[in-house]
Copies of this chain bind each other. A is one copy, B any other.
Amino acid sequence: MGSTSPTNVDVLIVGAGPAGLMMATWLAKCGVNARIVDKRGTKVFNGQADGLQCRTLEIFDSFDFGHRAWLESNHMLEICLWNPDKDGTIRRSDRIPDTIPGISRFQQVVLHQGRIERFFLDSIEGCSDIRVERGVLPTKLELDESLVDDKDAYPITVHLRHLSEEEATPQQRSTSANGQSIEDGIFRSNLSADDTQELLRASQLNATANTEEIVKAKYMLGADGAHSWVRDQLGFTLEGESTDYIWGVLDIVPITDFPDIRMRCAIHSADAGSVMVIPRENKLVRLYIQLTTTQHNGGSGGRADRSQINPDVIIQAAQKIMAPYKISYRKLDWWTAYQIGQRVGTKFSAHERIFLAGDAVHTHSPKAGQGMNVSMQDTFNLGWKVANVVKGLSDRSILKTYELERRKIAQQLIEFDHRFSRLFSGRPAKDVMDEEGISMEVFKQAFEKGNMFASGIAVDYEASVIVAKEGQPITSSQSLAPNIKLGMRMPSVKVLSQADARPWHFQELLKSNGRWRVLVLPGDVSKASQMEKVQKLGEALSKKDSFLRRFTPEGAKYDSVIELLTVHAAPRTSVTIFDFPEAFRPYDELDGWDYWKIFVDDQSYHEGHGQMYDTFEVDREKGCVVIIRPDQYISYVGPLEDYETVDGFFSTFMVSQQTGSAI
């Protein structure tokens, strides 16, 4: 690793936080040649962001580690709103479900970032040779604009410097003014057993310390945080406003007689301020408290002086707000104080070669538990697109959809955070005549509305080459499946495997492996008219130049680029998979017929009836065809009889793999 001859890599990721790791996981699953570097010497072990939306859990599950987060996390079921009564004493005024019932098979949970990084790292190690290279700092970046449209070129040149262990250890000691020795960043009192390997690796950094190397890359991701070096090199900026609010955050094992300490609570006191309670794993509770600048440092304006804040200041504020209940602690896990701006990046990519994601393109307050989720979902949106382009399966046109789709989400996030923070920071209204105070009815409504946004399920991507909504040359027929909504993620109900009667949540079949899915809903195939349509579709799919064959490389498995899944609505016992044409249950010389492609909407023995056709409002005597993106978002809904439009959809951006032919 000298500094002389450059090495090539298809994708270089800068930053191994959740956004960078999500990208690396996609590339690992898709078999792409990639590197991921981070200037810190170790992953984080506690503290930091920790809310997980139900959509994020669905995504984790698509990478096979949803259950790890689900088992280790604290589940939040209910939000309790506490407000002053007419005597000024706080009372529980409302209970709201934390996750809106029915929107997902998961509910919002809390687990600290260190564990989530561990899941990603294990997933990457399980399927690839990609390893996070820690203590590595990029020092120079060049993009050769003359090469950006050449799909085989390496237009990006990056210099990387390998740090010593000392340089790579962030200085995150306490900022407290009173000399208290609790650290507010990486401290290791509660290391998980599977993290010890990390520490051993960190101590090996010095072997390569102070060497430099040059890397040439086809694509690059800057997931390097709010102070992104990659963003600075590109000359891109964030737009928005900073706030005066300083927030204190305290992670403690509380000793308290407050009865809702294991609920998520928003507590507004009459005149001592507000606290947000977030119950966490391992008996911990997080308290968020707004500490106004004027109260604590004399209001020097602009960026406030956070050095006056320490755990004592925060707990004392909590005690005032939560009186007459008592709260104290003997175990302190982590604390911090922050002041944050609400800003969005002007551009999310340079020539669709260098991309920015996560805090590098949106910063905001952490209270709604959104930041880590939206950051991971940025690269969940991007990863499969880059992978498919690098692998030569798709042309570069799909890369433009990253900024189109994610910048809008970032803007919605900032608006949500702005509204939510203002409401939360406000003083409760004393009565209906108190116009400066915040009406608790308004607050509750905002919370309920916010919950839908905060679940991550409401994401609705715009029309593009990969979302055949109105305005695109490819036309969908949304009315054939009104509840499988174009641009939104595929909803899930239980279906049964035709071959073995096992119930699966439909989403469980949509693993994140880079594949597109064509979902055929043929309706009631015990009706001859429907089975006839299935036979016709089977014929078209079996042709040598069908989209199933044309876009799949020679020698690759039949379902490795586009996977055909079927859920029919005839009684399970009325058919077998051999009643369907072979295209629906392909044959392999070694493994025989594929028993895992045909499903049925029917009663299970132990887990009820998913009612897919009724839930999605699909007519059993019409049926439909749905195209599902590799990230589970819906591209297209159309008639069962219309093979041509499905073929046409893929033809607009996929690259034919048949020798001598191209689109």
Q: Which residue of B lies closest to A264 (CB)?
A: B500
How big is chain A's contact interface, by range?
35 or more
With a cutoff of 8 Å between Cβ atoms, the chain B residues found around residue A283 in the complex are: 591
Inter-subunit contact B331/A591 (CB<8 Å): yes
Contact check: which of B75, B101, B497, B500 meets A502 at CB < 8 Å?
B75
A167 within 8 A of B: no
Inter-subunit contact A573/B71 (CB<8 Å): no
A593→B97 CA distance, assembly (Å): 25
Inter-subunit contact B501/A592 (CB<8 Å): no
Inter-subunit contact B592/A97 (CB<8 Å): no
With a cutoff of 8 Å between Cβ atoms, the chain B residues found around residue A78 in the complex are: 500-501, 605
Quick one: which of A274-300 are within 8 Å of B by CB?
279, 283
Q: Which of A251-259, A378-386, A512-520 contacts B (4 or more CB under 8 A)?
A: A251-259
Inter-subunit contact A606/B262 (CB<8 Å): no
A437 within 8 A of B: no
Contact check: which of B97, B331, B578 meets A605 at CB < 8 Å?
B97
Inter-subunit contact B605/A77 (CB<8 Å): yes
Inter-subunit contact A71/B77 (CB<8 Å): no
A590 within 8 A of B: yes
With a cutoff of 8 Å between Cβ atoms, the chain B residues found around residue A606 in the complex are: 77, 97, 99, 101-102, 107
Residue-wise interface mask of A (87-115) relative to B, using a CB-CB cutoff of 8 A (1 in contact, 0 not): 00000000101010110000100000000
With a cutoff of 8 Å between Cβ atoms, the chain B residues found around residue A570 in the complex are: none
- With A67-B67, A99-B606, A606-B99 known as contacts, the answer to whether A595 contacts B501 (CB < 8 A) is no
CB distance from A29 to the nearest CB of B (A): 16
Inter-subunit contact A126/B592 (CB<8 Å): no
A663 within 8 A of B: no
CB distance from A573 to the nearest CB of B (A): 7
With a cutoff of 8 Å between Cβ atoms, the chain B residues found around residue A77 in the complex are: 500-503, 604-606
CB distance from A600 to the nearest CB of B (A): 12
With a cutoff of 8 Å between Cβ atoms, the chain B residues found around residue A227 in the complex are: none
A4 within 8 A of B: no
With a cutoff of 8 Å between Cβ atoms, the chain B residues found around residue A330 in the complex are: 589-590
CB distance from A199 to the nearest CB of B (A): 19
A132 within 8 A of B: no
Inter-subunit contact A259/B75 (CB<8 Å): no
For the A-B complex with A67-B71, A95-B573, A262-B500 known, give 4 more contacts whose Cβ atoms are closer than 8 Å: A76-B500, A77-B501, A259-B577, A331-B591
Q: List 19 A-B contacts (CB under 8 A).
A: A75-B500, A76-B500, A77-B501, A77-B502, A77-B604, A77-B606, A78-B501, A99-B606, A107-B606, A253-B590, A255-B593, A256-B592, A257-B593, A259-B499, A259-B577, A261-B499, A261-B595, A262-B500, A331-B591
Pick the 6 closest A-B CB pairs, nearest first. A255-B592, A259-B576, A262-B500, A77-B501, A262-B499, A97-B605
